[in-house]
Structure 1
Amino acid sequence: MTTSISIILNNIPCEGHAGQTILEVARANGIRIPTLCHHERLKPIGSCRLCMVEVEGSGSPVAACTTPARSGMIVRTHTPALEKLRRDTLLLLLVDHRLDCDSCELDGACRVQELARCYGITQAEIDQLGFCPVPRGPVTYGATPLITYHPDRCIRCGRCVKACEEISEQAVLSFAGRGAATTIAPMEQDGKFSGECLSCGECMAVCPVNALTETHVVEALPDGARVKKIRTICPYCGCGCTMDLRIHADHVLGAASCRGGVNDGSLCAKGRFGLEFIHSPERITAPLVRENGTLHEVSWEKALEFTALRLHETVRHHGPDRVAGLSSARCTNEENYLFQKLFRAVLGTNNVDHCARL
């Protein structure tokens, strides 16, 4: 049984549960505290320092995302001192992350840009600080060729490292370098990668600033191009994972994670990176019927009528065991169930199998 707790947030009594952090209680009660490193699917990281709050009795601000909430706590989330601290923290972070990043598809919808607007930070103000960020262009991700890393966008929040460790359970990634030259890279031991990358893309899915992108999209997408998303179901296996198709100029670029569904945001390598086949000129997009040794494109009505007639004739003249059905792993579980039911209950044969190749 979950124990309830009560804390005071900005002079407002708020209810929560034992084990929740201050950030979780605040969000559950409609109080927004800015974050960049926090993600619902990951354990608290506490690296961005934007969620700092004041707790009565504590000598200095604490990170709301890592501090457990306790009954009787008195917390302030948006005092002038905290807002100045957040603004200064964000300003230093933006020294190495330009606001006018036209080449990024998140430009205009980026969480960092949104926070900069909220705190009135401009690129001109950042430039006046006089820092000279290390120029770094996109590089091939050492762990997998499917992902490109953009160190000039990276804010070193650690989400990708945590996702690889906690969601994929591979622990392939780590921080490399020091100071302003810190980057994300595969862990190495004796000159070799210490873990095996599954190309699952979980690191890419949790990145808040698009510092990890699909390699083929980087090569195909023009600078400043806008990508729209359409929610759908993965076409591969019967699991039925929910995902967002990323589309530009009526062309499917790939898939993106979205919360909810049976997969809760996770996608396998095929579901995330293996959608280019839909643009293949060899793809069959309509039913084909063979007549006189040649395949002809027909309507679905004619194809179904032709199939039903041939099945009926074969069963009538030669018996039900002279027909067989082969289904596909790309069908839904419900479709495969109905398929075998058709052959067993209607046609009267157990000659039914399933191709598990995806």
Structure 2
Amino acid sequence: LVNVKIDGKPYQFEKGTTILKACKSIGIEIPTLCYLEGIAEEGSCGMCVVEVKGSRTLQRACITEVTEGMEITTNSDLIYEARKMNLELALAHHPLDCMTCDKDGDCVLQDLAYQFGIKKSQFLDEKDAFVYEKETPWDKNPFIQFDPQKCILCRRCVDACENQAIVEAIAIAMRGYKSIVSTPFNLPLEETNCQFCAECVQACPTAALIEKPRIGKGKIFNFEKTDTICAYCGVGCNLTIFKDKNNNLVMARGVDREPNKGRLCVKGRYGYEYVNSSERLTTPLIKENGVFRAATWEEALDYTAKRLLEIKDKYGPDAIGVLGSARCTNEDNYVVQKFARAVIGTNNIDHCARLCHASTISGLGKALGAGAATNPIDDIKNADVMFVIGSNTTETHPVIAQFIKENKKKKGAKLIVCDPRNIDLAKYADIFIQHYPGTDVALLNGMMKVIVDKGLIDKEFIENHTEGFENLLKVLDKYDLDKVSEITGVDKKLIETAAITYAKGPNSMIFYTMGITQHHVGVD
């Protein structure tokens, strides 16, 4: 701990804490514009400046760490004028169209201008204020609109793309007053490696970047918002969806909590528009003589209850089966199984995940006693080695792929990717094994044999907590590397390196999906 004085009062903070975090922890709010914790921490806007006794200049609170004996002033005439000056410089080329801007009420820049009483920047040169053309290569896609006139070059979008999405599709081009956020060679976004996760849009503090589907639908205070869980994949991202006055969904944003920590993929961000489809059923249908007719809810419920009772009375409760769905919430699925067991009186309750992950239930159940993931998503950051097999993670679970890339980029974790295809994660892998389709079992047995032969096993754990190990050794005897290499089409040296890397972790984590489970050898 270090001893610090803030506005004349003594405090203690952990060494390495920034002034901004220290002040926030004691209830002192310091304005920021370019800062996003863990994502954009460059100190480029100068809004968070504070006085530090003994320093020749004002210090940026977001990047300056507290030190022993530091004396900090967070509010003075000098600080106020410096912050106001920096804000006016940010507004020097910014159009004054808040009344017609879709980001009105949802704009950090607008909030700060209001806080500092700025109606018009003293640096605004109206001849030069609107030098950029409205049309940019960004505008050709259906998801993101970029208005360079409203960009203040805070770099939050660039840092979100680099540090949150781990894509690096955009950067600052040119220099000086000609600087602009751009794609490589000013290409359209769809021609870059952009995945349209729109982390850049969510990070933008102005209307420079905005979701196209929400444009013209209203301002933030016109929308009704609802927190929910994305149903597209198993990550279960927390998101907030926004509904306009016409009862249509217009926007989705990631919520900064587990498991996604604010992240979303293109499906979570934009894949809500089916809800607004005019082709959706809005009334129950009952089939009579092979033709559907519209019915009231009361009639449909009575009809359903009557038919279920008839079937139960005539054939017994086990003549009825009930299906839940991964697209429903846990609570809905709980009610479904309660209805099946307590009301109908049958245990014939099933779920779509059993079809695609039956081998998981069986395989993990036999090996570990439970057919579920052994670790929370947040444990990815603690992995020293990440072993991906049977999973095109970037496509199927994009947010998990971001965490995998982040752990590799920031902490130097090793990444081993095994896939017959040259998938996106292969570009980031330390070891990429491109084995023949359907040879996963041989590959894994070959790796296990290397681990056993090299003595990289935990003998004490095996003796105390496992059974059937001798049987495993008998199986592995058949899998010498020459044979495995022939079966899989992979160089035996590469298999050996992967096995040793995984075994020496020390914290190694396995990722797999339906590229394993839906094979006929999925259980193995």
| Fold-level similarity (TM above 0.5) | yes
Unaligned runs of 5+ in 2: 357-395, 397-524
Paired position in structure 2 for 1:305:
302
Structure-2 change in CA distance of 1:321 and 1:287 (3 Å)? same
Paired position in structure 1 for 2:464:
none
> Which one scores higher on RCO, CA 8 angstroms, separation ≥ 6?
1
Distance 2:260 2:160 in 1: 15
- Whichever structure has more helix as a proportion of its residues is 2
Structure-2 change in CA distance of 1:347 and 1:166 (3 Å)? farther
Distance 2:76 2:29 in 1: 13
- CA shift digits 1:161-219 (9 cap, x unpaired): 1112222222222112222332222346999989632222211111111221122333x
Say whether 1:160 aligns with 2:157: yes
Paired position in structure 2 for 1:236:
231
Q: Which amino acid aligns with 1:307?
A: T
Q: Which amino acid aligns with 1:325?
A: V
- Please tell me whether the aligned partners of residues 243 and 256 of structure 1 are also in contact (alpha carbons under 8 angstroms): yes
Identity percentage of aligned residues = 33
Paired position in structure 2 for 1:104:
101
Q: Which amino acid aligns with 1:66?
A: I
Say whether 1:203 aligns with 2:214: no
Paired position in structure 2 for 1:95:
92
Structure 1 residue 9, shift from structure 2 partner: 1.3
Structure 1 residue 139, shift from structure 2 partner: 3.2
Residue 102 of structure 1 aligns to a residue whose secondary structure is helix
Distance 2:106 2:145 in 1: 20
Distance 2:105 2:5 in 1: 35
Q: How does 1:266-281 map to 2 (within 5 A)?
A: 266-281=263-278
Distance 1:225 1:70 in 2: 41
Unaligned runs of 5+ in 1: none
Number of aligned residue pairs: give it.
353
Distance 1:63 1:318 in 2: 76
Structure-2 change in CA distance of 1:121 and 1:77 (3 Å)? same
Structure-2 change in CA distance of 1:354 and 1:16 (3 Å)? same
Q: How does 1:23-34 map to 2 (within 5 A)?
A: 23-34=20-31
Residue 205 of structure 2 aligns to a residue whose secondary structure is coil
Structure-2 change in CA distance of 1:37 and 1:192 (3 Å)? closer
- Answer with 331-340 or 279-288: which moved more: 331-340
- Whichever structure has more strand as a proportion of its residues is 1
RMSD of equivalent CA atoms? 3.5
- CA shift digits 1:224-261 (9 cap, x unpaired): 89633422324635737240415255443222344457
Residue 352 of structure 2 aligns to a residue whose secondary structure is strand
Structure-2 change in CA distance of 1:243 and 1:138 (3 Å)? farther
Distance 1:192 1:154 in 2: 17
Q: Which has the larger radius of gyration?
A: 2
Distance 1:225 1:271 in 2: 19
Paired position in structure 1 for 2:18:
21
- Please tell me whether the aligned partners of residues 55 and 75 of structure 1 are also in contact (alpha carbons under 8 angstroms): yes
Residue 57 of structure 1 aligns to a residue whose secondary structure is coil
Q: How does 1:1-358 map to 2 (within 5 A)?
A: 4-107=1-104, 110-123=107-120, 125-127=122-124, 131-137=128-134, 139-141=136-138, 145-187=142-184, 196-218=193-215, 220-221=216-217, 227-234=222-229, 236-237=231-232, 239=236, 241-260=238-257, 263-318=260-315, 322-340=319-337, 342-343=339-340, 346-348=344-346, 350=348, 352-354=350-352
Q: What's the TM-score once normalised by structure 1's chain length?
A: 0.83
